[in-house]
Amino acid sequence: MHAHPEPAREEHRTTDLVAARLEKADVAVQRLPGTGLVAEVGRDAGDRESDVRTVGLRADMDALRMDDLTADPWRSTVDGLAHACGHDVHTVALLGAGLALREQHARSPLPGRVRLLFQPAEEVMPGGARDLLDAGVADGIESIYALHCDPSIDVGQVGLRKGPITSACDQVLVRLRGKGGHTSRPHLTQDLTFALAKVVTDVPAALSRRLDPRAGASLVWGYVRAGSAKNVVPSLGEAGGTLRILDVRAWELARGFVTDLVAAVVAPYGVQAEVEYVRGVPPVVNSAGPARSFARAATGVVGASGVVTTEQSLGGEDFAWYLERTPGAMARLGTRTPGGPTNDLHQGDLRVDDRAVPIGAEPAGPGRRRGAAGRRPAAHRRRLAPSARPASRITRLRAGAPRTLRHRRPSAVDRPVCCA
């Protein structure tokens, strides 16, 4: 999969590969329009008992439009495309989880259902999460979980926190038009280059005074383009970048502020300004209960010392849209070889220690254990004697790391894990 990356909404080979592997294991697959698929494991999908719970597990599948700069034998075979954000790891980990859950269900029926969401197009705006939600494939899910590769922490560790773990991310394009001319007579032009430079420097500065500083707003330009000759004042220029915000309330206000500030900054120069503001994704906000469940599951794999508190990132993730509908949590999967270099995401030299894959993939072995799926809360289910109540959760993971990475399992009473 790593050698055959596919961009957003073109993940046809990836979809076929995942579907074929699931169908070989007798897991029914629902293909989505275009690319992506959904599958369910556990209680029969035709079983409509009101007290059966469904948990969602989601992975994204798309690659990035960039070159793979590694010399690995499994490097990309497609020019200009690379799995430089680890989505191949996410996909294979979810596939492995689905296959293992299917085997477990065959041995001892799961108390609920697990819905596997293989999502296309996370790397674009609007992303594939909205497509899946609009198609109704997340309906009925009571909690949802996802992993994301993190090359800043070692393989054998899982990063978690309750509350916001990523930021909102929007795209901003400012296009200016004005009278050009010769650089020897700037007073006869509208000096668009100078006006564009003021936008690039003054808008981020002014925005920091309009938004609550605790919101952590960061407007950063990725490119600035104007003209092609040293002695010509151009008549067209543009700057493009992203605005990232940690706070949902500030995110809701940001669009209007950016538009107003651009207009105010260019007004003295007489140029025409056009702002294309694309709302991207809100912050991923981990719910407290699912974050604790995720921490317990991860502790079962890497031990309590392997579950670390992670910082909130300014990265954007469309998994946030699922959490707008239902409680859930995202964790960070350590992918760095201990003692090795930190190769960042969205870089062509990203290398993932693939011992991380089983850590993210394998659910509990035979038997029902506490986890995140099963029966509904007591207020919504028939009253049962404590000894007769079914186990309520199934998201614990089996220790799937290599032997050198295994830790002593926790005692019957879970040790507390910090997710602050």
Are residues 220 and 368 both part of a single domain? Answer: no
- Phi then psi for residue 345, to 5 deg, are -65, 155
pLDDT at 178: 97
Residue 369: domain span: 12-166+283-405
What tokens were used for 231? 């002695």
Helix, strand, or coil (residue 388): helix
pLDDT at 156: 95
Q: How far apart are CA 160 and CA 358, in angstroms?
A: 18
Low pLDDT (below 50) residues in the chain = 363-420
Flag whether 3 is in a domain. Answer: no
Q: How many CB atoms lie within 10 A of CB 195?
A: 22
- Phi then psi for residue 128, to 5 deg, are -70, -20
Q: Tally the residues of the chain.
A: 420
Q: How far apart are CA 51 and CA 75, in angstroms?
A: 47
Domains held by the chain: number: 2
Q: Sign of torsion, CA 265 270 271 277?
A: positive
Helix, strand, or coil (residue 367): coil
Helix, strand, or coil (residue 70): coil
pLDDT at 392: 32
- Which stretches of 158-287 are DSSP H helices? 192-210, 248-266
Q: How far apart are CA 94 and CA 82, in angstroms?
A: 20
Are residues 327 and 228 both part of a single domain? Answer: no
Are residues 388 and 327 both part of a single domain? Answer: yes
Are residues 289 and 242 both part of a single domain? Answer: no
Q: What is the CATH number of the domain that holds 360?
A: 3.40.630.10
Are residues 57 and 172 both part of a single domain? Answer: no
Q: How many CB atoms lie within 10 A of CB 205?
A: 11
Using only the alpha carbons of the chain, give its radius of gyration: 24
Q: How far apart are CA 229 and CA 208, in angstroms?
A: 34
Flag whether 417 is in a domain. Answer: no
- End-to-end CA gap in the chain: 35
What tokens were used for 332? 């960070």
Please say which residue of 237, 257, 281 terminates a domain.
281
Flag whether 6 is in a domain. Answer: no
Residue with tokens 């906000």: 285
Please say which residue of 264, 281, 298 terminates a domain.
281
Strands 37-42 and 158-160: unpaired
Please say which residue of 232, 259, 281 terminates a domain.
281
pLDDT at 47: 59
- Looking at the whole model, is its pTM more than 0.85? no
Flag whether 197 is in a domain. Answer: yes
Helix, strand, or coil (residue 93): helix
The answer to whether 299 and 410 are in contact (CB under 8 A) is yes
What tokens were used for 235? 């008549």
**Element (H or E) spanning 219, and its range?**
strand 218-226
Q: What is the CATH number of the domain that holds 224?
A: 3.30.70.360
Apex 106 CA angle, 378 and 55, nearest 5 = 40
Q: How far apart are CA 173 and CA 240, in angstroms?
A: 4
Are residues 152 and 198 both part of a single domain? Answer: no
Are residues 29 and 151 both part of a single domain? Answer: yes
Q: How far apart are CA 21 and CA 94, in angstroms?
A: 12
Residue 307 β-bridge partners: 158
Are residues 270 and 226 both part of a single domain? Answer: yes
